[in-house]
Structure 1
Amino acid sequence: MSKLFYGRAKIINGTALLRFEKKGSVQQLIHELKYREQQDVGLFLGNWLGEELKTIEAYKSIDLVIPVPLHKNKLRRRGYNQVTKFGQQIAKALNTDYDESVLIKITNTTSQVNKKRFARWSNNDELFSLINKEKIENKHILLVDDIITTGATIEACIQVLNRADHVTISIATMAIA
């Protein structure tokens, strides 16, 4: 994962639990989580990755876990953010806080599932906003998401989080394509 962001966004550590392949079992698992209200998938994957991360020295310095947010309209339609339980379980395993009040999605975009690489990047200007930035100043943040394809969404989040003073960022996702 570090190679994916090299030269694009500074991260301390990056990890993905699973490898995503089209029409594979990981795609089905994430589809169940996102579109069939199977939030237990996020719980299970968060427990699994959390148990792994707490044994790795580099993740013991995490001060706060923050999810990639959904726009309020999508959140209202779906009823939940698919990475909430995932992130909460990781925070619990790392004995740290989980906070959804720092990073918000301000632009409602359509799903990126069928978009090509360039369209994903060009679609990410000012999608997110940082509020309560004092909560993350001088902190090591673990940014969590469900899947990384091009990395454009995570990169946009990192750019916004870096507006706070002395913040360092690591990434953990359910899967990487």
Structure 2
Amino acid sequence: MYRLDRYWHGFVHILFPQRCAGCDTTLCHQERILCTTCLYHLPKTNYHLDPENETAKQLWGKVVFHRAASLLTLSKSSRVQRIIHHLKYGQQPDVGIYLGKMYGKILRSTPIVKGVDLIVPIPIHPVKKRRRGYNQSEYFARGLSEVLNIPYDTALLKRTVNSVSQTRKSRAARYDNVEGVFTFVPQRRARAIAHVLLVDDVITTGATISIAAQQLIDGLGCEVSILTIARA
């Protein structure tokens, strides 16, 4: 049975070859999402080792948080940019789960996730979610949840304003673009939530995630830590 299953997967791989999300080369049978070369060359930040890392500094003065970190550094026309593009616009949500599991394995014995009760992904507007079919940050949260054995919740935050893309906006305009776009939605729970891990795909100015974090702090009276896949 195992041999038959292996032959079937090999046959499917020949007919519908999987491509690397980082460089678009055909993946070998044992590779998944990223090829060995892209895995080896991923620009991991190791921010979890430094409480005063660049992601944390990006949030200083914007919101009170416990810890903050990003898995990767994002630069223009890089493999990380291609990976994020596949995750957000290429109908490949499994990229988010894959990266969540990767980061979870790195973080599971570190202070940044110690005492975390709940993982919350940054929500996208329902209109955008219907058009895209999924929320990429939710899939990142799923991967983290599976490895860290911490539940995730997609109902605590609601995006009420369908903001336009932040990509071409100035830093000041980015804050105007996200002001008031999130609403905290109270949930009935068996126990209090003291520490939330808020996650998103990319942090640039920190405008979006700071506004969302403040909603959680005000709504739950909790401590918030922040994780993203990449820092631009």
The TM tier, using the shorter chain, reads over 0.9
Partner secondary structure for residue 136 of structure 2 = coil
Alignment match, 1:91:
145
Q: Which moved more, 1:42-51 or 1:1-10?
A: 1-10
Within-5 A mapping of 1:1-177: 1-132=55-186, 135=189, 137-177=192-232
Contact 1:19-1:176 at 8 Å conserved across structures: yes
Moved >6 Å (runs of 4+): none
Paired residues, what number? Answer: 177
Q: Which moved more, 1:83-92 or 1:146-155?
A: 83-92
Q: Write the deviation string for residues 52-106 of structure 1: whole angstroms up to 9, x where unpaired.
A: 1112133121100000000000000000001112101111222111100000100
Task: Percent identity, please.
Answer: 39
Contact 2:118-2:193 at 8 Å conserved across structures: no
Q: CA deviation at 1:143?
A: 0.4
Q: Identify which of structures 1 and 2 has the higher relative contact order when contacts are C-alpha pairs closer than 8 Å and 6+ apart.
A: 1
Q: CA deviation at 1:158?
A: 1.2
Q: TM-score, normalised on structure 2?
A: 0.73
Q: Separation in 1 of the partners of 2:188 and 2:60? A: 27
Q: Which one has a bigger Cα radius of gyration?
A: 2
Contact 1:62-1:141 at 8 Å conserved across structures: yes
Matched letter for residue 108 of structure 2: K
Q: Is the helix fraction higher in 1 or 2?
A: 2
Q: TM-score, normalised on structure 1?
A: 0.94
> Structure 2: which 5+ runs fail to align?
1-54
Q: Separation in 2 of the partners of 1:127 and 1:99? A: 18
Aligned-pair RMSD on alpha carbons? 1.5
Q: Separation in 2 of the partners of 1:27 and 1:170? A: 24
Q: Separation in 1 of the partners of 2:126 and 2:155? A: 12
Q: CA deviation at 1:4?
A: 1.2
